[in-house]
Structure 1
Amino acid sequence: MRRANTDAGRLPALSVPRFVGRDREVAVLGEALGQAPAVVLIDGEAGIGKTRLLREFLVSPGERGRRVLVGTCPELRVPYTLGAVVDAVRDGVGSVSGLGLSGLCGALRPLFPEWAADLPPAPEPLEDATAARHRLFHAFVEVLNRLDVAVLALEDVHWADEATLEFLLFLVSRRPQPVSVVVTYRRKEVPPDSLLLRLSSRLPADAHLVRLELKPLGIGETAAIVSSMLADEPLSTEFAAFLHARTEGIPLAVEELVRLMHDRADLIRQGGGWARRRLDRIEVPPTIRDAMLERVGRLPPDIQAVLYAVAVLSAPADYVTLKAVTGLSEDRFAGPAADALGCGLLREDGRGHWSFHHALARQAVYEAIPAQERRALHVRAGRVLENSPLPPVAQLARHFRLAGDVEASCRYTEQAADLSMQTGDVATAALLLHNLVTTVALPVEPLVRLAMKIQFQALPGSDPYSAIIESLQSALRTQALTPQQQAPVRFQIGRVLMVAGVIEAGRHEILRAVPDLAPDSLEAARARTLLALPLGNAQPVSEHLRWLGEVPAVAPSIPPHERLRLVQERAFALLLLGEVAGWTEARRIPDDTADPREAATLAIGHRNVGDAAMRWGRSDEAGARLAKAQALAERHELRDYLGPIASSRAHLDWFTGAWAGLAERAARLIDDEDGVPLKDRCEAVLVAGLLQAAAGDRTEAAERLRFAAQDDQQRIEAAAALAQLCLRDGNIDEALRLTEEPSEISVGTGIWSRAVELAPVRVAALVAAGRLGHAADLVTTFERALGGKDAPAPQASLVLCRAVLAESDGRLTDAAGLFARAADAWQALPRPYDALLARERHARCLLAAGRHEAGLLILSDVSRALADLGAHNDADRVAQTLDERGRDTRVARGRGRPGYGNRLSPRELEVARLLVGGRTNRQIAEALGVSTQTVASQLKSAMRKLCVTSRTVLALKVVELGLVGEQGQPPTGDEKIPPSSPGREEKRVSGRRL
């Protein structure tokens, strides 16, 4: 080490590297920002030079005289609301005195207390948090306009909080656009659901958008950078190639490697230029981080102390703050501070605030601090920042959390979360609380309180629950708790499990908690309400109603938003239990609120009531409630709630026959793994499976329905649809198996709201198995549970069950009348698909009773209506019956795929052609790009239509009928394709010959 330092002393000091290799980018920036306000996106990996490009451009001659504000989004695990924008304005604006600001700008007082003497009085608080945030945005815009700001530049926007991104969207969507906006970011680190993506994809049509993607430098440019650091002396060609190969042309890596080699004395002059010492032995750190750490390790301890303080503080800090955090005296701090600033790692801004040149350097130095020293630095940082004029509560929460000060970290995290909620920034509030609860071993009281405040749907990722559950379970394992202390923890575990869809495990934990919960506590009331929800395995309806009846009156101190949660949960429980009183309770749920804490509860409440209304058959009520939920989510910017609400809307559209574009909407929801939680995607999957079953894609439909059955809310309807497919295939045993447990959960327990889709299928399965007594008992139980409730969907389902029983008894006239009543009842809801299926059963009873003309006339209408709806599998079945009875099956082309009746579809003809050519199912699947299951299904359909029982006979039949040539070629010329049954006249669908 001594030899290296001696050699290094004879080397000239390194200069700041010259800005090279970005002439084109500078020109593009100049052209873009020289026009009307623009939006410039600068993308590039870490160390590529985004910050250098921006800062070099802003000090260029063409930009002098224009006011530019620059802010940086901090690399904190949890960002703080609007922090980068506030910092940019504070750094770039000394005073707002004399600007003549309107009263609107009084909204800026909490953010800029140092301007209190120059800002108007604070305006009256707004009830709507979203309106308050937009008022704040307007105030910022007024300040920007009065100061004649030309450019607002924000760096590292991949780390921005949602409020900052919302403000950027607010700026660029205004006409005229107030300022040019420049952002730098790393595309690979942008979350897929980030609002940053909207900044480029959803700009107004007249916006001036410029994208710049910075690429690594070439060998020549790498050599130019290094030469500029070494008094502009040239480099050897070999040395330049070596540096480029080791750094891949990343400017920051080039600079750090050269500084490290300088410190090591690995640089020598050779042949009039610079080269390396020990050409074949030099060791190069594998990453920029390693190079930085080695370089920092060579510095004296006091300089390291300064760097450690800057790294711990993370945000830019002034001289006084830094000195206090280092713990050094003035005489020990001044010299090392100057040396630290000159070592190339730090920079000082116009306000005298110090920070690292690059986030990579900060992170590398931070990770190198010994753990005990790092905790002490966080303690000192927290104590210093507590005394600042505007204590940064999010930063304080972080410092005290990392210092191990549990009480202080809880206090400041909760304050930061509450501030975020007050501005409507639910996502940041949820992240703050989740981060604390899952990383700090909290005492029971704050653990339970903070876990209760987390709004899980605002958290990113598909599983925001597991870490919270583990933290709560850890408290039970590791803390010596009395039963009364354990009870709230167990309740929270159970509540989170139920929210996550793990119903039975959640019920078990809540049942264990109930005896020891304080009688008038919020937890006691919510625990009994959650146990009243008829979810999971079978419990008699009386058991659920008993829990609801035991819900205690809560203490007067319970906050209003928690009381509102109890109202919506009680309403949902009553409606699922089939109690008319649930509608009275539902009317207590307001349409809107001024409290952002209540907004999410209201959105969930209206969605839940909408779901229950679907089960009751109140389609108008369901639509209205879902519309209210969506309006709340949009108004309060609860983006994580929009996907689940859209899934419920898709489900309602399935019932009401609004199938146009429904498959595409369901597919988008299924694919949105980040925006729609699994249990809500299950609802979209259910809708997709139901549509595929109606269209005839049996294999895919079954897969979808089995997936949907993972969610407790969808499993009974999914089981009913799967059992219906089995009945149509003649697989009675499987239909019985699929419906047995769901039947007990719904009809057997008296919870009729869950039996609407299942009961008729279960009755049909029992009838098909010859178990007529069991079928009759099931209908009686269903009828007794339903009683005279004003519930149109279950009442229609009950009539359908009676019709199936009458048909099984041979009472065809009675059955026909009951099927007709059921069809009318379904249509009145409206549920047109169910109505048409019941109408089909009505017609078949008429045919069986000898009333052929009436039955065939109804079937003709049903066939056309099913095709129009898009239920082509059912339309084909009805058309086949008509065809067999000599009725014309010509129908107008409906939505979706055409119905082909008893004739081969184009895809079935294509499969048959390849079959005649001698290919196996696998070879056919590969040729057509489909699965072997799909090929097997299409061959089975073709064999059924042509009344053959084997592949070989099918091949002979299609050749015999002239559908394909003997070598598997399609018919040539203008040959007519014969009908599938000899002697039948040719049929046409939509003018096309089949």
Structure 2
Amino acid sequence: MENKTVSPVFVGRGPERAALAEGLMAADDGRPQAVLIGGEAGVGKTRLVEEFLHQAHEAGALTAVGACVEVGADGLPFAPVATVLRALHRQLGEELTRAAAGFGGELARLLPELGEPSATVRVAREVEVRGRLFELTARLLETLAQDRVLALVIEDLHWSDRSTRELLGYLFRSLQGGRVLIVTTYRSDDIHRRHPLRPFLAELDRLRTVRRLELARFTRDEVRSQVAGIRGTLPPEDLLEQIYRRSDGNAFFVEELASMSDGCGAGGISDSVRDLLLVRVEMLPETAQRVVRIAAEGGSKVEYGLLRAVTGIGEDELIEALRAAVGASILRADEDGTYRFRHALVREAVDDDLLPGERTRISRRYAEALDADPALVPADERPARLATYWYHANDPAKALPAVVGAATGARRQHAYAEQLQLLDRALELWDSAPAEVRQGLRIAEDAESYPLCDCADDPLSFLDMLAEVTLAARYAGDAERGLSVISRALRVLEGLGHPLRAAWFWTEKSRFMRHLGRGNGWAELGTAQELLRGFPPSPVHARVLTEAALWGAVFDPGPRSLAIAERAVELAQEVGDEHTALNARVSRGGLLIETGRGEAGVVDLRAVADRVVAADMVGVFTRSHINLQSLLESMGRSEEALAFAEEGIRLAYRYGLRDTQSWIHGNRSDALFSLGRWAEAEAAAGEARAAGQMPVTRALAAQRLARLALGRGDLAAAEAEITLMGEHHRAYTGLAPQYAHPFAQHRIAFAAAQGRILDCRRILAEAVEAGLAPGAGCYTWPMVDAAAEAESAARGVAAAEPGQAAAVAMIREFAATLPRDYPVWAAYGLMVEAELRRAEGTSGAADWSAAVAAFEELPRPFELARMRARWAEALLADGDRERAAGLLALAHAVAGELGARPLAGEIEKLAQRARLPLTAGTAAAAADDGSFGLTPRERDVLALVAAGRSNRQIAEELFISPKTASVHVSNILAKLEVSGRGEAAALAHRLGIVGADRAASA
């Protein structure tokens, strides 16, 4: 007799249902939405989704469901997205095919029904096609959603593979049009501290269009309603109390207990959750129990044909067994002909109850059935599932080629994290597999200059696989794993006499050592170069020389490194390796800028960036956009740097490159800090921290946050971030100026804030003695300025006087060696000299006037405010109170807007001593300046508001995000004390804040 365990009455979940309804309405208005539903196993996520899908269908939405499967952890990428696309294809047929016209071959990687996949490109460019795949998936959904709402559900995100998460993240960020709502579910009790879903969820929490819901357990009253729905009558209070106590409000356990309560006393069910879950299975007929056990080992879902082949029983008997399991609410039948457990907890309990030998035997039967009839499962799933079955069957001879084949499939789908997992499994199986199986494997395909094996010698074929694992680790962002594999490869190479392959691995090791902060990688590069000595030019030569140029750009920016970069470009072009040539040009362009030839460097870098975008060369993009953005900022061109960063961050998300996202967000934080947009700088630094995977990127995020904390006077936060900097890139300190000098700068500023001038001097002396090439002055000038400001602040302090003259002389001598090729560096030079003269007691108004004039030409409001305050102090000493008052008012307004409390405090003390009213002065100075307290960026936004632009149009025109535009508009309304955009525009025209010509041109 069929047990009725699911309540026909949907209980509770009012706020969650309302949130889903709101998301559906927003999607219907053309604003794509996403809702993430979390909760412990059994709490009712699936039932909520089913109820929502029914309502969405009734409202005219097109619905589709996909679920992540546990086999995804073993390398089945994009499985739930592929299932959703199949469901859409079944419902739409030719409409979907027409929507994919022109790129069906590329989308066939996810939806084979569209035809044969496009030809595979070489591995060095596969990551580029991955970005294309993401973009086309978004385009397809947007096209299908023009005339109806798409309500798409991805269940069990806790089992998702990394590629699925990255594709979903891309869709959440990139869907701009179309009526799309994506709902996902995940088991929150499975999300431990190191679970890969945790940082993914943290990133999504920052997105305006993503809403996260957490389902709580049922209350006692809700349990009463659920039990009443199942039993058809209100339960007795003693039974309700028993069910509520044992279930603890978990909806699934309530169902189990309620359906078994009749005829069972209090001791009729074990207190063990596992036993509770198995009770219903053990009540099935013997054949049905056997089918359920076999289905449990098959994974989260099993096709009917596969289940029939594995069970080996007659069709009628199998159907009766399945009917019993479905009737008992253990299995459920899906429309696509697959069977899955109604709840994953039941499958886990049944699978755990299998004996080890039983599990191995069932896995073998699954593998043999798939080998005999590949059509039993979808073609795109077969390699990964076959690899999983043979692996669990403990048959290395069969498992190794199956796992390698699945890894190749994952690579072709650009699912590098899953490829890496599969290749690791292949390495585990390698020694156990027969020699003839190992020798038949070929892995690498001309990837990144690796010299392919050209014979059947076993060690060399194994090295090919290690090279593939190395590249997969690099693309997946797993430097630790990459370094481990390289060490193994170098041990295998010892005594084999294959210098080109050894040089390739040493070059990769240099890269990983730098990224992990375990050295500067020069020793490894030196070994690679020595191995190549005497050999004719080859792609490996070009690769090694390009890495040497990259090293020079970071650690020794100067003429010698520029010459290496020039030679690397020539050699890469000579051997016909465009990727390597472009990478070498990135280093050359950066070195041109750092050696004073800025325009030539920018032209070179922009040309590379344009080529990278046009050809989707992701392997070069990871450097081209990061470097050009950073170097524009170093030249003082912060607005350009920020605009370029907006393009870079879009591409980084499109390609799913997390560590690259961290670099670009960090560089955005630098530009935003310089422009005086500190709140946005903090948000960008937070994004950089969330995306950072390597020690170096985590250290750089701490560096940006430490700078903000010091500027705001939050010493506790500054100390914590400086400590993190030291922990993450300790190996860089004393080696690369771009890491060592900001670290020293923040330590000096922190010590100065605590009045520890002797520590300031010691830290600077250590940095100077390290003898680092200053390269781009943006890393070194701020450190020198921090030391000069510390001495300036300590003037007249008894403890500082001994040795102050020597300290000032040392700072001045070191500053004289620094480049001043660009206006921002020259301005820093004037500021440092003025601070040093203040420390000596010899500074005058002219020194500060020159520094102010220099910074007035630059988008550096914080430094300008500081110089204006110093100039005001000198003017007061000369008796010029009127000019001093105006300068102090301007400086105080900027300090207040930035939240620069230490600077604001200094200005307030100076004004108090001089008896100057800052509030009145602020208004007068602002009016005289014509700004009314608005920053240059806010005046640009106001001009566009006055021209009638929307926030989105403002964002597009100024290369900022709509959210940032909204923040600017809110700030403008507050500063002008108006209630709306129209009033702000009218006031701007009336008071002349925005000229008519400017608004018209906008």
User: Which band: TM-score by shorter chain?
Assistant: 0.5 to 0.7
Deviation at 1:20, TM superposition (A): 4.5
2:753 and 2:75 mapped to 1: Cα distance? 56
Query: Structure 2 vs 1, CA of residues 466 and 99 (structure 1 numbering), >3 Å: closer, same or farther?
Result: closer
Task: Tell me: CA distance 1:393–1:472, structure 2 relative to 1, closer, same or farther (3 Å).
Answer: farther
1:482-502 per-residue CA deviation (whole Å, 9 max, x = no partner) reads 4745554444343223224x0
Is structure 2 residue 41 aligned with structure 1 residue 46?
Answer: yes
Alignment-mate amino acid for residue 376 of structure 1: R
Alpha carbons of 1:893 and 1:46: their partners in 2 closer, same or farther (altered >3 Å)? farther
Partners in 2 of 1:41 and 1:538 — Cα distance?
44
- The CA deviation string for residues 629-660 of structure 1, in whole angstroms up to 9 with x for no partner, is 2353466676775554333223223334x24x
User: Is 1:655 aligned with 2:674?
Assistant: yes
Amino acid corresponding to residue 284 of structure 1 in structure 2: S
Amino acid at match of 2:764: T
The sequence identity of aligned pairs, in percent, is 21
Alignment match, 1:339: 321
5+ long unaligned stretches in structure 2: 122-127, 192-196, 429-461, 733-737, 793-800, 927-1002
User: Counterpart in 2 of 1:87?
Assistant: 83
Distance 1:341 1:433 in 2: 38
Q: 2:417 aligns with which of 431, 456, 464?
A: 431
Instruction: Answer yes or no: is 1:645 the counterpart of 2:664.
Output: yes
| Residue of structure 2 in register with 1:865 after alignment | 890
Residues 69, 159 of structure 2: 8 Å contact kept: yes
Select which of 471, 475, 480 maps to 1:452.
471
**Contact 1:106 1:122 survives alignment (8 Å):** no
Question: What one-letter code is carried by the residue in structure 1 that aligns with 2:858?
Answer: L
- Partner of residue 403, structure 2: 409
2:748 corresponds to 1:723: yes
Task: For structure 1, list consecutive stretches of 5 or more residues without a partner in the other structure.
Answer: 1-12, 262-266, 268-272, 421-428, 899-994
Q: After the TM superposition, which residues 531-930 of structure 1 pair with which residues of structure 2 at under 5 Å, given as runs?
A: 531-532=548-549, 544=561, 548=565, 551=568, 553-554=571-572, 560-561=578-579, 563-572=581-590, 575=593, 582-591=601-610, 593=612, 598-599=617-618, 601-602=620-621, 604-633=623-652, 641-642=660-661, 644-656=663-675, 658-659=676-677, 662-663=678-679, 665-666=681-682, 669-670=685-686, 673-676=689-692, 679-680=696-697, 682-683=699-700, 685-697=702-714, 700-708=717-725, 711=729, 713-724=738-749, 726=751, 731-745=756-770, 754-762=779-787, 770=803, 779=812, 783=816, 786=819, 790-800=821-831, 812=842, 820-835=849-864, 837=866, 852-853=878-879, 859-870=884-895, 871=900, 873-874=902-903, 876-877=905-906, 880=909, 888=916, 890=918, 892=920
Distance 2:541 2:922 in 1: 55
Q: Secondary structure at the match of 1:355?
A: strand
| Cα distance between partner residues in 1 of 2:865 and 2:23 | 65
For residues 196 and 608 of structure 1, what CA distance do their matches in structure 2 show? 27
**Residues 418-453 of structure 1: CA distance to partner in whole angstroms, max 9, x if unpaired?**
324xxxxxxxx2432343355553744333334335
Structure 2: how far apart are the matches of 1:893 and 1:655? 25
CA positional deviation for 1:867: 0.9
What amino acid is the match of 2:340?
S
Matches within 5 A, 1:333-412: 335=317, 338-339=320-321, 342-343=324-325, 344=328, 345-368=330-353, 370=356, 372-373=360-361, 376=364, 379-380=367-368, 383=371, 390-392=379-381, 395-396=384-385, 399=388, 402=391, 405-412=399-406
* Cα distance in 1 for residues equivalent to 2:541 and 2:263: 77
Look up the SS of the partner of 1:275 in the other structure. coil
3-state SS of paired residue (1:376): helix
Distance in 2 (CA, whole Å) between partners of 1:640 and 1:538 is 20
Q: CA deviation at 1:739?
A: 0.9
How far did 1:755 drift? Answer: 2.0
C-alpha distance in 1 between matches for 2:258 and 2:618:
55
Shift of 1:586: 1.7
Aligned equivalents of 2:282, 2:490: Cα separation in 1? 43
**CA distances 1:898-937 after superposition (whole Å, capped 9, x unpaired):** 9xxxxxxxxxxxxxxxxxxxxxxxxxxxxxxxxxxxxxxx
8 Å Cα contact 1:819/1:842 also seen in 2: yes
TM-score normalized with structure 1 length = 0.66
Q: Structure 2: how far apart are the matches of 1:806 and 1:480? A: 61
Paired with 2:37 and 2:775, the residues of 1 have a C-alpha distance of: 62
Q: What is the alpha-carbon distance in structure 2 between the residues aligned to residue 640 and residue 826 of structure 1?
A: 34
Counterpart CA distance in 2 for 1:619 and 1:672 is 18
Report matched runs for 1:930-945 at 5 Å.
Answer: none
Identify which of structures 1 and 2 has the higher relative contact order when contacts are C-alpha pairs closer than 8 Å and 6+ apart: 2
Match for residue 967 of structure 1? none
Rounded to whole Å, the distance in 2 between the matches of 1:192 and 1:507 is 36
The one of 499, 508, 511 equivalent to 1:492 is 508
Question: Residues 759 and 534 of structure 1: is their aligned pair in 2 closer, same or farther, counting only changes over 3 Å?
Answer: farther
Offset at residue 740 of structure 1 (A)? 2.0
Distance 1:416 1:605 in 2: 27
For 2:272 and 2:818, how far apart are their aligned partners in 1?
A: 72
Matched, 1:215 2:230: no
User: Mapping of 1:5-154 within 5 angstroms?
Assistant: 15=3, 17=5, 19-22=7-10, 44-51=39-46, 69-75=64-70, 76-77=72-73, 83-88=79-84, 90=86, 102=98, 104-105=100-101, 107-108=103-104, 136=137, 139=140, 154=154
* Secondary structure of the corresponding residue to residue 3 of structure 2: coil
Q: Deviations over 1:660-716 (max 9, x none)?
A: xx1465167448853455755655554554455445555654554554455554542
Residue 216 of structure 1 deviates from its aligned partner by: 7.2
Counterpart position of 2:966: none
Evaluate the alpha carbon distance shift between residue 745 and residue 312 of structure 1 in structure 2; reply closer, same or farther with a 3 A threshold: farther
Give the structure 1 partner of residue 982 of structure 2. Answer: none
Residue 332 of structure 2 aligns to a residue whose secondary structure is strand
Offset at residue 736 of structure 1 (A)? 1.4
More helix by share: 2
Determine helix, strand or coil for the equivalent of 1:589: helix
Amino acid in the other structure paired with 1:719: A
SS in 1 for 2:649: helix
Q: Give 1:790's aligned amino acid.
A: D
Q: Helix, strand or coil for the counterpart of 2:608?
A: coil
Aligned residue number for residue 952 of structure 1: none
Distance in 1 (alpha carbons) for counterparts of 2:591 and 2:884: 41
**Shift of the alpha carbon at 1:25?**
7.0
Q: Is 2:170–2:653's contact at 8 Å kept on the other side of the alignment?
A: no
- Matched residue SS, 2:421: helix
Partner SS for 2:413: helix
Query: How do residues 160-171 of structure 1 correspond to structure 2 at under 5 angstroms?
Result: 161-162=164-165, 165=168
Q: Is the 8 A contact 1:72 1:84 kept in 2?
A: yes
Distance 1:188 1:107, change over 3 A: farther
Q: 2:519 aligns with which of 501, 504, 511?
A: 504
TM-score, length-normalised on structure 2? Answer: 0.66
